Amino acid sequence: MSSTVEVAADRPAPAAAAWLHGVVRDAEPATLAAIVGMDGAPVRAVSAAGLVAVVSTAPLNEYGEQPLRRNLEDLAWLERAARAHHAVVEALARRGPVVPARLATVHTNDDRVAGSLTARRAELVATLDRLTGRGEWGVKGYLVPGAATASAEAAGAGGVGTAYLRRRRAQLTAREERQQVASAAADAVHAALCELAVAGRRHAPQDRRLSGASTPMVLNGAYLVDLAELSRFTELVGSLSGRHAGLHLELTGPWPAYSFVAERPEPALTVQEQR
């Protein structure tokens, strides 16, 4: 889980920092007043360079450098934080394009937030322009269970043990073949969806414990779709599902465009001195 923490050097630490949720072109005060942030209070705006960063007040006893390092190792805390952060980003995305911040992007103060907006203005404006009138949709593909694979081969001279081994070998072979066919079908589905979408990305398939599905996931795609093409995209997903009987396709969304916001190469936890 990536995060960014900035701490001040050679100056007293403030009581609270600013947890960045995302960047938008503008935000009405009434809109922000209705969105609950990380501390249970409404989120607020930091404006600079013609852009608005939406932030939560982040008490340093929980979101400071050392507490945050510890909390990121606590799965229960991490899940709560991720849900709260995503809820803010999702609320912003319902009102227009938003550049989502990575989880646990914490700035020392509002001046640092404003400085980041100014420094990254060209990149952020280009991203907002690219996301305008578009949404991220997910398509997950699951392997459809095949027919029984037990071999009808009768036991030969080798006896019952040999027959069992033959059946097991046939089952494993059939399973591998189904997975290969499903993998090829997932490639074809992704390629077809990318032709209609503005952009597409394949994420690693989710483990069944995370997806909650009873069968393996072989496609975990994200697609940036023009709103004007959404009905065609939805129809295409249905058509592809019928064309590839070995796959069950599931359309999800719309989501904030996490998959189509470029991340700068940074380590998992970056401590930057304020100069």
pLDDT tens profile 75-109: 999 999 999 999 999 999 999 999 999 999 999 99
**Is the domain of 152 the same as that of 114?**
no
Q: How confident is the model at residue 164 (pLDDT cuts 50, 70, 90)?
A: low
Cβ atoms of 260 and 126 closer than 8 Å = no
Cβ atoms of 1 and 104 closer than 8 Å = yes
Q: In angstroms, rounded to a whole number, what is the distance separating the alpha carbons of residues 24 and 44?
A: 12
Match 């990121």 to its residue by tokens: 72
Q: In angstroms, rounded to a whole number, what is the distance separating the alpha carbons of residues 60 and 68?
A: 9
Match 């852009």 to its residue by tokens: 51
71: burial class by Cβ within 10 Å (0-12, 13-18, 19+)? Answer: middle
User: Where is the domain boundary, 132, 159, 186?
Assistant: 132
Q: How confident is the model at residue 269 (pLDDT cuts 50, 70, 90)?
A: very low
User: Where is the domain boundary, 84, 103, 132?
Assistant: 132
Q: Is residue 181 part of a domain?
A: yes
Write down the pLDDT at residue 246. Answer: 82
Task: State which residues form the domain around 10.
Answer: 3-132
Cβ atoms of 15 and 9 closer than 8 Å = no
Q: How confident is the model at residue 181 (pLDDT cuts 50, 70, 90)?
A: confident
* Separation in Å, CA 42 to CA 30, 93, 222: 10, 17, 30
Q: CATH number for the domain including 153?
A: 3.30.70
Q: Is residue 263 part of a domain?
A: no
**Is the domain of 245 the same as that of 138?**
yes
Write down the pLDDT at residue 146. Answer: 63
